[in-house]
Amino acid sequence: MASQGPPPASGGGTAAAGSPQALNQIVIEYLSKKGYSKTEAMLRVESAHTDHEGRPILSSLDDQPELKYEKSYSHLKHWIDNSLDLYKPELRRLLYPVFVHSFLELVKSGYVVPSQTFYKEHAHEHESTHGHDLKNLKALSLPQHIEDDQLAKLYRENKYRVILSKTTFTLLMHFLEETKDAGGSVILRFINQRIDIKTISGRPTMFSTAGDDEGMLGEEEGIQGHTSGHLNRGGVLPSIKLGHLPMDKELMSDVEEELREEDARMKDSTRNEELGVSTGGTLIEEFQKIKREESEDSPMRDTIPLPPYTGVDVEREVRLVKESRDKVRLAGVPAPALPSVCMYTFHNTHDGLNCVDFSEDSTLAAGGFAESYVRIFSLKGAALPSIIPAENLPSIPKTRRLIGHSGPVYGVSFSPDNKYLLSCSEDKSARLWSLDTFTGLVVYKGHDNPIWDIKFGPFGHYFATASHDHTARLWSCDHIYPLRIFAGHLNDVDTVEFHPNSAYVFTGSSDKTIRMWDIQTGNSVRLFTGHTAPVTALAVSPDGKWLASAGEDSVINMWDLASGKRLKTMRGHGKTSIYSLSFSVEGNVLVSGGADMTVRTWDVAYGTGAPTADAPEGTGGVSVGDGTTKVDGVTNGAGKIRKGGKDVVATPDHLSVFYTKKAPVYKVQFTRKNMVLAASGFLP
Amino acid sequence: MALWNADTVKDVSESVGIPSLSDEVAKNLAMDVEYRLHQVLQEALKFMRHSKRTTLATTDISNALRVLDVEPLYGYESTRPLKFGEASLGQAQPIYYVEDDEVDFEKLINAPLPKVPREVTFTAHWLAIEGVQPATPMNPTPSESARQSETTPKGAPPPASTTVPTTADVSVRPLVKHILSKELQLYFDRVCSAVTDESNDALRAAALASLRNDPGLHQLLPYFVQWISEKVTHGLKHLFILSVMLQVTHALLENSNLFIEPYVAALIPPILTCLIGKRLGSGGGGDAAAYELRDLAASLLKAVCKRFGDSSHTLKPRLTRTCLKHFLDPARPYGTHYGAIMGLAAVGGREAVRVLVLPNVRLFVEGVVKGDGGSEAERVVGAVVSVLRLLEEEEVAGVKPEGEMEESMREKLVERVGETVAEEVWRVGRPGLVKAIVEPVGGL
| Predicted pLDDT of residue B159 | 39
Where in chain A is CATH 1.25.40.500? 61-223
- CATH code of B35's domain: 1.10.20.10
Q: What percent of chain B has pLDDT over 90?
A: 2
A489-493, B151-155, B330-334: range with lowest mean pLDDT: B151-155
Q: How many CB pairs under 8 A join A and B?
A: 238
Give the whole-angstrom CA distance, residue B246 versus residue B243. Answer: 5
Q: Does B177 contact chain A (CB < 8 Å)?
A: yes
H or E stretch covering B389: helix B375-392
| Predicted pLDDT of residue B180 | 76
A205-209, A344-348, A553-557, B409-413: range with lowest mean pLDDT: A205-209
Highest mean pLDDT among A249-258, A537-546, B182-191, B279-288: A537-546
Exposed / middle / buried, residue A485 (Cβ in 10 Å: 0-12, 13-18, 19+): middle
pLDDT band at A429 (very low <50, low <70, confident <90, very high): very high
Residue B341 forms part of a structural domain: no
In the predicted structure, residue B75 carries a pLDDT above the cut 50 = yes
Tell which residue, A37, A343, A655, A338, has the closest CA to residue B122.
Answer: A343
CATH class as words, domain A341-607+620-681: mainly beta
* A654·B165 Cβ contact <8 A: yes
Residues of A in contact with B172 (CB under 8 A): 626, 628
- Residue A417's CB: how many other CB atoms inside 10 A? 19
Surface of A (380-439) touching B: CB under 8 A:
399, 407-408, 410, 426
* A347·B123 Cβ contact <8 A: yes
Residue B48 forms part of a structural domain: yes
Q: Are strands A451-456 and A439-445 parallel, antiparallel or unpaired?
A: unpaired
In the predicted structure, residue A570 carries a pLDDT above the cut 80 = yes
The string of DSSP codes covering B168-237 is TTTTTS-SS-----HHHHHHHHHHHHHHT-TT-HHHHHHHHHHHHH-GGGGGGHHHHHHHHHHHHHH-TT
Give the whole-angstrom CA distance, residue A218 versus residue A243. Answer: 29
Kindly state the average pLDDT of the residues A6-15: 43
Q: Does B122 contact chain A (CB < 8 Å)?
A: yes
Residue B441 forms part of a structural domain: no
* B132·A634 Cβ contact <8 A: no
In the predicted structure, residue A478 carries a pLDDT above the cut 50 = yes
Q: What percent of chain B has pLDDT over 70?
A: 80
Q: Does B185 contact chain A (CB < 8 Å)?
A: no
Give the whole-angstrom CA distance, residue A43 versus residue A653. Answer: 72
- DSSP assignment, residue B102? -
* pLDDT greater at residue A472 or residue B96: A472
Contact between B313 and B323 under an 8 Å Cβ cutoff? The reply is no
CA distance A445 to chain B (A): 16
Give the whole-angstrom CA distance, residue A423 versus residue A412. Answer: 4
Q: What Cα–Cα distance (Å) separates residue B116 from each residue in A53, A345, A489, B119, B334?
A: 85, 21, 44, 9, 66
* B122·A631 Cβ contact <8 A: no
Contact between A282 and A224 under an 8 Å Cβ cutoff? The reply is no
* A661·B152 Cβ contact <8 A: no
Q: What Cα–Cα distance (Å) separates residue B313 from each residue in B5, B305, B306, B317, B352?
A: 71, 10, 12, 8, 16
Measured in residues, chain B has a length of 444
| Predicted pLDDT of residue A275 | 47
Kindly state the average pLDDT of the residues B84-94: 72
Task: Tell me the pLDDT of chain B averaged across its residues.
Answer: 77
Q: Does A138 contact chain B (CB < 8 Å)?
A: yes
Of B139, B154, B166, the CB nearest to A649: B154
CA distance A659 to chain B (A): 6
pLDDT band at A648 (very low <50, low <70, confident <90, very high): low
Tell which residue, A129, A149, A147, A126, has the closest CA to residue A139.
Answer: A149
| Predicted pLDDT of residue A15 | 42
Give the whole-angstrom CA distance, residue A630 versus residue A613. Answer: 14
Preferred mutation among A333, A350, A658, A674 to probe B, highest tally of B CBs within 10 A = A658
The string of DSSP codes covering A220-276 is T-EE--S--TT--SSSPPPP---SPPPPPHHHHHHHHHHHHHHHHHHHHHHHH-SSP
Kindly state the average pLDDT of the residues A140-160: 81
Kindly state the average pLDDT of the residues A87-94: 78
Give the whole-angstrom CA distance, residue A559 versus residue A557. Answer: 6
- DSSP assignment, residue B285? T
Q: Does A655 contact chain B (CB < 8 Å)?
A: yes
| Predicted pLDDT of residue A80 | 83
Measured in residues, chain A has a length of 684
Q: From A646, which residue of chain B is nearest by alpha-carbon distance?
A: B153
Residues 6+ positions from A378 with CB-CB distance below 8 Å: A363, A364, A384, A398, A399
pLDDT band at A644 (very low <50, low <70, confident <90, very high): very low
3-state secondary structure of A463: strand
| Predicted pLDDT of residue A61 | 59
Q: Does B179 contact chain A (CB < 8 Å)?
A: yes
Give the whole-angstrom CA distance, residue A657 versus residue A640. Answer: 19
Of A139, A552, A656, the CB nearest to B162: A656
Residues of B in contact with A355 (CB under 8 A): 52
Task: Tell me the pLDDT of chain A averaged across its residues.
Answer: 78
pLDDT band at B78 (very low <50, low <70, confident <90, very high): low
Of B52, B67, B164, the CB nearest to A468: B67
Of B32, B120, B148, the CB nearest to A346: B120
Residue B307 forms part of a structural domain: no
H or E stretch covering A203: none
Residue B214 forms part of a structural domain: no
In the predicted structure, residue A602 carries a pLDDT above the cut 60 = yes
Show the domain range for B27: 6-76
Kindly state the average pLDDT of the residues A559-570: 88
| Predicted pLDDT of residue A506 | 94
Residue B33 forms part of a structural domain: yes
In the predicted structure, residue B160 carries a pLDDT above the cut 60 = no
In the predicted structure, residue A239 carries a pLDDT above the cut 90 = no
Radius of gyration from C-alpha coordinates of chain B: 38
- Residue A611's CB: how many other CB atoms inside 10 A? 8
Contact between B337 and B345 under an 8 Å Cβ cutoff? The reply is no
3-state secondary structure of A402: strand
Q: From A330, which residue of chain B is nearest by alpha-carbon distance?
A: B130
Tell which residue, A456, A357, A387, A371, has the closest CA to residue A678.
Answer: A357
Give the whole-angstrom CA distance, residue B210 versus residue B254. Answer: 11
Of A139, A338, A410, the CB nearest to B162: A338
pTM for this entry: 0.63
Q: Are strands A471-476 and A484-487 parallel, antiparallel or unpaired?
A: antiparallel
Q: What Cα–Cα distance (Å) separates residue B183 from each residue in A339, A471, B180, B223?
A: 11, 46, 8, 14
Residues 6+ positions from B369 with CB-CB distance below 8 Å: B377, B380, B381, B420
Q: Does B151 contact chain A (CB < 8 Å)?
A: yes
Exposed / middle / buried, residue A378 (Cβ in 10 Å: 0-12, 13-18, 19+): middle
The string of DSSP codes covering B125-157 is EEEEBTTB----TTSPPHHHHHHHHHHS-B-SP
Give the whole-angstrom CA distance, residue A642 versus residue A569. Answer: 12
Strand partners, A475: A463
Kindly state the average pLDDT of the residues A537-560: 91
| Predicted pLDDT of residue A270 | 62
Preferred mutation among A137, A342, A601, A659 to probe B, highest tally of B CBs within 10 A = A659
pLDDT band at A209 (very low <50, low <70, confident <90, very high): very low
A45-54, A417-426, B12-21: range with lowest mean pLDDT: A45-54
Strand partners, A516: A506, A526
CATH class as words, domain A61-223: mainly alpha
Q: Does B59 contact chain A (CB < 8 Å)?
A: yes
In the predicted structure, residue B279 carries a pLDDT above the cut 60 = yes
Surface of A (449-478) touching B: CB under 8 A:
449-450, 452, 468
Kindly state the average pLDDT of the residues A86-92: 75
In the predicted structure, residue A12 carries a pLDDT above the cut 90 = no
pLDDT band at B442 (very low <50, low <70, confident <90, very high): very low
| Predicted pLDDT of residue A678 | 94
| Predicted pLDDT of residue A628 | 33
* B159·A656 Cβ contact <8 A: yes
* B153·A656 Cβ contact <8 A: no
Give the whole-angstrom CA distance, residue A580 versus residue A355. Answer: 10
In the predicted structure, residue A622 carries a pLDDT above the cut 70 = no
Strand partners, B122: A346
A217-221, A405-409, A498-502, B20-24: range with lowest mean pLDDT: A217-221
Where in chain A is CATH 2.130.10.10? 341-607+620-681
Of B39, B51, B127, the CB nearest to A354: B51
| Predicted pLDDT of residue A618 | 32
Strand partners, A513: A529
Kindly state the average pLDDT of the residues B306-322: 82
Q: Does A379 contact chain B (CB < 8 Å)?
A: yes
Highest mean pLDDT among A55-69, A97-111, A298-312, A456-470: A456-470
The string of DSSP codes covering A607-635 is TSSSPPTTPPPTTT---BTTTB---TTHH
H or E stretch covering B97: strand B94-98
In the predicted structure, residue A163 carries a pLDDT above the cut 70 = yes
Q: From B181, which residue of chain A is nearest by alpha-carbon distance?
A: A625
Q: What amino acid occupies position B282?
A: S
pLDDT band at B300 (very low <50, low <70, confident <90, very high): confident
In the predicted structure, residue A138 carries a pLDDT above the cut 50 = yes
pLDDT band at A277 (very low <50, low <70, confident <90, very high): very low
Kindly state the average pLDDT of the residues A58-64: 60
* A450·B63 Cβ contact <8 A: yes
pLDDT band at A16 (very low <50, low <70, confident <90, very high): very low
pLDDT tens, residue by residue, B330-387: 778 888 888 888 888 888 877 888 788 777 777 777 777 665 657 777 777 788 878 8
Q: What Cα–Cα distance (Å) separates residue A532 from each residue in A473, A509, A551, B283, B328?
A: 25, 11, 8, 79, 81
Domain total for chain B? Answer: 1
Q: Does A591 contact chain B (CB < 8 Å)?
A: no
Radius of gyration from C-alpha coordinates of chain A: 31
* A656·B128 Cβ contact <8 A: yes
Preferred mutation among B27, B39, B120, B144 to probe A, highest tally of A CBs within 10 A = B120
In the predicted structure, residue B177 carries a pLDDT above the cut 50 = yes
| Predicted pLDDT of residue B90 | 66
CA distance A293 to chain B (A): 33
Residue B132 forms part of a structural domain: no
The string of DSSP codes covering A315-360 is HHHHHHHHHHHHPPP---SSSPPPPPEEEEEEES-TT-EEEEEE-T
Give the whole-angstrom CA distance, residue A544 versus residue A555. Answer: 21
Residues 6+ positions from B295 with CB-CB distance below 8 Å: B342
